[in-house]
Structure 1
Amino acid sequence: MSRFVINAPVFFGSAAIIAVFVGIGTLVPGQAEALFTAMQAGILSRFGWLYLLAVAIFLFSMIFLVFGRYGDLKLGPDDSEPDFPFLSWMAMLFAAGMGIGLMYFAVGEPMTHFALPPEAEPLSVAAQRQAMSVTFFHWGIHAWAVYAVVGLSLAYFGHRYNLPLTIRSGLYPILKERINGPIGHAVDIFAICGTLFGLATSLGFGVLQINAGLNYLLGVPVSIYVQILLVIVVTAIATISAITGVERGVRILSEINLSVAVLLMLFVLSVGPTTILMRDFVQNIGLYLDTLMLRTFNIYAYEPRPWIDKWTLFYWAWWISWSPFVGMFIARISRGRTVREFVAAVLFIPAGFTFFWMTVFGNTAMYVDMTVANGALAREVQADLSVALFQFFQYLPLPALTSTLTVALVAIFFVTSADSGSLVIDTIAAGGRTDTHPLQRVFWCALGGAVAAVLLAAGGLSALQSATISTALPFSLVMLALVWSLFQGMNADVALSRTLLNGASQAHPASGVPWQKRLALVLSAPDEKDIERFLEKSALPALKAVADELGRRSLNAVVERDAETGAVSLTVPAQGVRDFIYGVRTSEHKLPAFTAFEAMNMGLRYEAHTFFSDGSRGYDIMGMSQEQIINDVLVQFERYLGLVKSTETALLVTAPEH
């Protein structure tokens, strides 16, 4: 049964910081807008360069992992297999790229840059090219590199090191056990604050667009009161989802939403200038690649202009704030993938879809504006970005239907974002636990809605953007530390793999088992009860014997048995390095088939499979005697100590000589 589970310093610390922002917006709404605006201007003028440089580091670090020696490491033990087939996994990454932002900016951003480009002549062919290259830049692989850093950190240290799915776990190679102290608490607080304000910003965009759509369809006035009411209604729906646990219904809605969004894009593609759009798509990719390096580092240092603050730096801060949300999703679905698979897919699959989406809507909108609209669409978008998509649909067939679908799509994205975002925040606030009480998710869901409503009332989108930029600043420093920590951890794992490879000439662990017994085990296919008896009668006593001997030598060692899985493990805690763990658990595999009939009816083979703290590949020890298991534990412990020595670290306590 779920219960209240919180990490008190993180829960109350983040709630207090968020309450300060909400309190300012509620108590002094008139002064809040000026305060938030001044805060945003001060941060960007002093630290704008840091956002740009940090995202560049994230991108090049991820690209290095694709081509470097760490790419073959698994997100999980070396013998782990992916939880999902490749095509299903790609589809889920594709879904991760969809959201309120793509609906809000699909027409609005290209048209804004077309009318007010950073460098080109407004409303010119050069402005068209620049509009699409800038839009691609903001929504391309830089954004997904930010998500990849957090996602890879969570996946690597969560699935391979068996650490909780919290941001602090990614700093384990740097901080070791100190991740459970004040520094770790601060890291998770920054993650929660950034995620919640990033969520509030997305909800703010969604509310503005829903309000604009209802105004177009039903004449509902565009006002702050309507927008706050929409926040309350949609947050209430997300809260009901959190209380009742109707995740299956929300998931079905999400899948339908994704399908309808793709159909909407295909509709625009078919009724728009299809051939021109396909030609533009190819050209846009070329423009994006041609300007990629310059835009990565271009902060307009020699010719300052507010455009960079309003667009690029805001986007980078938004992606950084939003990264724990997207990162946790892609980490959860990526166990068993290699680092190379993960990074390459995360960088290019969602970005590729986003590029096509922006081309279909953005280039069609510019084509319409330069032909039938005669500049009217650009003027409408400049006046109010939230109405861009609805004004655009007026120039296409079935505008009432497409506008209605858009409102419904944004509303569902709103609900699923609020519900899922509250789950991510609750997981971090609970120290990585997911079996928490539903009321905890309700709290974070309601708080996210309250933040969106208060900041909208206090200053509209500018207040939301200011809060996002402010909270993203400390988290960008955390992410830089995550990158360094990832390379530290991967380097240690590669060093361990080489140590094991150098020792590969040693006899196989099972070589001590007589060959007749090994053959009998192969042919008899032990069942699950056989493995349970082996763990109870042989493995557990052997581990206890080793633990007792280590204890006599002043080394703390703990033997545990998992009540649910029956797995047994010996742990020797260490300081400055990963603990030594030798564990044995039940694993199952398909039996080999020698005929077509057997292939149709084959059962399962069970093994007593070892596992270790470093995620290295385990093996079957079924059939070993207690003495043989003890010897195998000592072989692994000797290798562990050799790695400790080679990396110039030490155990918490060194055994005395006897």
Structure 2
Amino acid sequence: MARMRDGHAGGAADEGHPPGAHDAARAAHPPLERTRFGGTERAPERQRHERDVPFSRSDMSKGPTELMEHRGPRVHWRVLIIASVVTLAFSIWAMLMPQQANDTMQAAVGWIATNLGWYYVLTVTIVIGFVLWVALSKEGSVRLGPDHSRPQYNLFTWVAMLFAAGVGIDMLFYSVTGPVVQYLDPPSGDGQTMAAAQDAVVWTMFHYGIAGWSMYALLGMAMGYFSYRWGMPLSIRAALYPLLGKRVRGPLGDSISIIALVGTVFGVATSMGIGVVLLGVGFSLIFGLPQGIALQIGLVIVAVLLTIAATTSGVDRGIRWISELNLWSAAAMMLYILFTGQTAFLLNALVENIGRFIVTLPERTLQTFAYEPDGAQWMGGWTLFFWAFWLAWGPFVGVFLARISRGRTLREFVIAAITAPVLCDFFMVSLFGNSALHEVIVGGNTEFAQLAVESPEAGWYALLQMFPGAMFLIGLATLSGLLFYLTSANSGAMVMSNFSSSIPEPSQDGPKWLRIYWALLTALLTIAMLLAGGVTTMEYATLIFALPVTVIAYLVMLSFSKVLRMERAEREGRVLQRRTMATTGGRAPERSWKQRLERMRAFPSKHQVAQFLDRVVRPAMADVVAEFRAQGYEVEQGRMANSTTGIDEPLLRVSMAEFRDFHYQVALVEAPVPMFGGRMSRETDVYFRLEVFTQTGSGGYDLMGLTKQQIIDDVLDRYEAHLAFLTVSEESDVASVLTPRMQQPTGTLPALPKSADDVQDLGDRKD
């Protein structure tokens, strides 16, 4: 039941109308001529409903039905088989003909870098601009869920999961070799100069900066919005429903899922490959094992076994625990390096690096090195590879971020995603990179510099060996790298199983056997790319297979901007309504000073609330309904059964012809008794509130203690607000902000949250 509450309480589907009931309800309740927004149904509206692409909230509310043929989890066999064939074919090709595979991909990457480098750069720039626009716009206050939903995880846990899911072990791999390479051989100008040193670390920070996290934020907020606010599956195809309509369930939607799935497989496999190459050196140093491909394959096998064990435990017990441990181990490693190394130099360099990054960000974002002789080659090996890496990881990390961000606002989600993890990245890259540069520039260690360029994994551990207590630091760093690796592999297997399944519930995952299958297939692909040429081949494959994902990014931006117009219309409607408000100002009904004082001491029981409902609220709403009907309105009055309290809750709905109906429900909400205030003792830990719920969730105020007339005024104030919203929608020349009616047969009205626990569990069950 709570799943219906969450999915439908916040947006179009929050009317509670079961998908597919609109046509039957429209036939059963013809439009009223006297209603302001009634009259005969317009031909353009009928034409819109004949199209495949949704143009309105009414059309959008059909999404859950049109996207889900079955109510339970189901494997998308076509997506699974095609994506598996592509992955297996590439793996077999890479293992049987490694040199040919490497040469072919190298040629393809060269062509992409020369001819499509500008396209990757432009795409990432547009994505950054789009997510910032969403966060800074007034629509940034929209929640990933109904208006009354709140975050499931506390801030620290949430940030830890953001960081651990979106940051792979590859950052450790490139944190030393990146700055050293850019110092010795920068993309422009001479190497081994002061200018090259100032830019060396900044380039790596740029590659691990807001570009990748903007891609994660784009796909994460889009999928989370459509899932938690509209009741659709947590998937890429659901995020494209406003743009493509019911076609997302057919071959077109399958193609989109296949592209996202294949990109995810190659992105995760690349991270796994880089991880085992790096960890192989660490295990060799700690346990004395011989380095080479055998050790790397062994680590892949061991890691897959650990991933299978962890992935069956779910988000809370598996990924959450690993994420927090990951953050603590990474923090310990960074602090050890900071205080046992060149502390003053590292802190000064960190501040300068961040400042230089901020100042030069616009220039670097649009930099293509068109005037440099080897500009395309450098772009293909660095910036374009990282942009492709983030694009390939975008659907994977986006799904995971959406899973853990229910109840967050769009603004909070975007700002947190592009700041908190990015600052952690900067700290890590700056400490490792500047420690390496100090050894090269000040210490004159050319052997270390050469090692860092030719063998990044060996160079990283060579740097660790220069610190006091080297073996302790190596062990800590290897543990941190292993946790990075396990987090990415664990969540990757989970997301890949979701992409190859149809899952109505965002809280659910694909079958366990499917997660195990993808963990094994990703391991096979990782081994194949290691045999074909190691890290270089992985970079090539990522750059190639991420190209189709750029199309998905553009489609998601178009789809998401379309549905945000609906949110804007509702907000502008509320603003317009406030200009003519009566006594309440659009918020809680205004109380007398005696009522306000009494309310401070009142913590009513369930019995007291039930009595107030029968004596005051129900008669007030009955009078309103009678007057509506006397004036020719089409009104539906009913009661909502609350299985938790056993008390039926009053509800009225005014039909608005082809527009969205007016919905007013008084619901019992359980709340904890505060420990402060005028009450000096507590007989119970909880009390009950009578909150008003509309289509967008709870109004946040309590009707308990009001007079009958005040409640009548509140109903009319809410009705005026609804009319103002429809006025803005009607006056807009954008088709997508129109809000046709959403009715349903009597007796099928949805339940809304009744307690704090219900609000916390929204989206976890389905009626």
Matches within 5 A, 1:445-460: 445-460=519-534
- Residues 171/615 of structure 1: CA separation in 2 closer, same or farther (3 Å cut): farther
Partner of 1:461: 535
Cα displacement (A) at 1:363: 0.7
Matches within 5 A, 1:306-321: 306-321=377-392
Cα displacement (A) at 1:95: 4.4
Partner of 2:466: 395
Cα displacement (A) at 1:316: 0.4
**Partner of 1:424: helix, strand, or coil?**
helix
Aligned: 1:196 with 2:270: no
Query: Is the Cα contact below 8 Å between 1:120 and 1:130 reproduced in 2?
Result: no
Aligned: 1:186 with 2:255: yes
Query: Is the Cα contact below 8 Å between 1:588 and 1:607 reproduced in 2?
Result: no
Aligned: 1:236 with 2:305: yes
Aligned: 1:39 with 2:112: no
Partner of 1:424: 495
Cα displacement (A) at 1:234: 0.8
- Residues 369/470 of structure 1: CA separation in 2 closer, same or farther (3 Å cut): same
Gaps of 5+ in 1: 512-516, 550-558
Q: TM-score, normalised by structure 1?
A: 0.83
Query: Is the Cα contact below 8 Å between 2:170 and 2:271 reproduced in 1?
Result: yes
Q: Partners of 2:119 and 2:608 in 1: how far apart?
A: 58
Partner of 2:363: 294
**Partner of 1:121: helix, strand, or coil?**
coil
Cα displacement (A) at 1:528: 9.8
Matches within 5 A, 1:128-527: 128-243=197-312, 248=317, 251-303=320-372, 304-372=375-443, 374-432=445-503, 433=505, 434-436=507-509, 437-504=511-578, 505=581, 525=604, 527=606
- Residues 173/213 of structure 1: CA separation in 2 closer, same or farther (3 Å cut): same
Q: Partners of 2:188 and 2:338 in 1: how far apart?
A: 29
Cα displacement (A) at 1:204: 0.7
Q: Partners of 1:415 and 1:647 in 2: how far apart?
A: 50
Partner of 1:605: 688
Aligned: 1:68 with 2:137: yes
Task: Judge which range, 113-122 or 347-356, deviates more.
Answer: 113-122
Q: Partners of 1:288 and 1:223 in 2: how far apart?
A: 37
Amino acid at match of 2:137: G
1:590 is aligned, of 668, 672, 686, to 672
- Residues 527/277 of structure 1: CA separation in 2 closer, same or farther (3 Å cut): same
**Partner of 2:172: helix, strand, or coil?**
helix
- Residues 590/54 of structure 1: CA separation in 2 closer, same or farther (3 Å cut): same
Query: Is the Cα contact below 8 Å between 1:98 and 1:258 reproduced in 2?
Result: no
Task: Judge which range, 471-480 or 564-573, deviates more.
Answer: 564-573
- Residues 338/257 of structure 1: CA separation in 2 closer, same or farther (3 Å cut): closer
Cα displacement (A) at 1:464: 1.8
Q: Partners of 2:95 and 2:659 in 1: how far apart?
A: 48
In proportion to residue count, which structure has more helix? 1
What is the RMSD of the two structures over their aligned residues, measured on CA atoms? 4.6
Cα displacement (A) at 1:73: 2.7
Cα displacement (A) at 1:18: 2.5
Cα displacement (A) at 1:275: 0.8
Task: Judge which range, 359-368 or 219-228, deviates more.
Answer: 219-228
Cα displacement (A) at 1:135: 1.2
- Residues 138/5 of structure 1: CA separation in 2 closer, same or farther (3 Å cut): same
Q: Partners of 2:400 and 2:211 in 1: how far apart?
A: 18
Q: Partners of 1:66 and 1:654 in 2: how far apart?
A: 30
Cα displacement (A) at 1:214: 2.8
Query: Is the Cα contact below 8 Å between 2:660 and 2:739 reproduced in 1?
Result: no
Query: Is the Cα contact below 8 Å between 2:240 and 2:556 reproduced in 1?
Result: yes
**Partner of 2:382: helix, strand, or coil?**
helix
Query: Is the Cα contact below 8 Å between 2:609 and 2:690 reproduced in 1?
Result: no
Amino acid at match of 1:435: Q
Partner of 1:514: none
**Partner of 2:430: helix, strand, or coil?**
helix
Cα displacement (A) at 1:202: 0.6
Please give the per-residue CA displacement for 1:614-652, whole angstroms capped at 9, x wherever unaligned. 66857778999xx99999998898677656544564788
**Partner of 1:317: helix, strand, or coil?**
helix
- Residues 325/582 of structure 1: CA separation in 2 closer, same or farther (3 Å cut): farther
Please give the per-residue CA displacement for 1:330-356, whole angstroms capped at 9, x wherever unaligned. 333333333222222221111112112
Query: Is the Cα contact below 8 Å between 1:158 and 1:165 reproduced in 2?
Result: yes
Q: Partners of 2:654 and 2:105 in 1: how far apart?
A: 51
1:12 is aligned, of 52, 69, 81, to 81
Report the number of matched residues. 644
- Residues 430/632 of structure 1: CA separation in 2 closer, same or farther (3 Å cut): farther
2:182 is aligned, of 113, 119, 141, to 113
Cα displacement (A) at 1:150: 1.4
**Partner of 1:306: helix, strand, or coil?**
helix
Query: Is the Cα contact below 8 Å between 2:161 and 2:323 reproduced in 1?
Result: no
Task: Judge which range, 173-182 or 564-573, deviates more.
Answer: 564-573
Partner of 1:555: none
Cα displacement (A) at 1:217: 3.7
Identity within the alignment, %: 31
Cα displacement (A) at 1:189: 2.2
